[in-house]
Amino acid sequence: MGKQNFTEVIGYAQRLKNGNTLINFGFKNKGKESNIIEVDAHGNQVFNLTITNSAKDMTYVYRAYRMQFYPDNYVFDVTK
C-alpha cells in the first residue's frame, strides 16, 4: 500500500471473520478519490475499488463495511 493510499482524514478499517482486513481511504489525493481495499493476512490485495470524484462532485466514502449478500441460512431452490 504505502504513500499512494495515504489519506489525511476520513478512513476506517474492519477486521473480517475470514481474517482479512477491509480498509477505507476516504479522502485520497486531497479528496479527489476514495479507495476501498481488502487485504488477506499476508498483505495480498483481494479487492480494490477506487472511486474518482469530479471537481463538482465531492462525494467521499466516509466508511465502508463488508456485508454478506445472503444470510448463512439462505437456501435457493431451483425446483420452484
pLDDT in tens, 14-57: 999 999 999 998 888 878 888 999 999 999 999 999 988 776 77
- What is the number of other CB atoms lying within 10 angstroms of the CB of residue 34? 24
Q: Which residue has the higher pLDDT, 63 or 36?
A: 36
Per the CB < 8 A criterion, the answer to whether 64 and 51 are in contact is no
* pLDDT higher than 90, residue 74: no
Q: How far apart are CA 40 and CA 21, in angstroms?
A: 6
Q: 61 falls in which pLDDT band (50, 70, 90)?
A: confident
In this prediction, residue 55 carries a pLDDT of: 67
Grid coordinates representing 49 are 475499488
CA-wise closest residue to 9 among 24, 27, 21 = 27
Give residue 65's pLDDT. Answer: 82
Helix or strand (DSSP H, E) at 24: strand 21-28
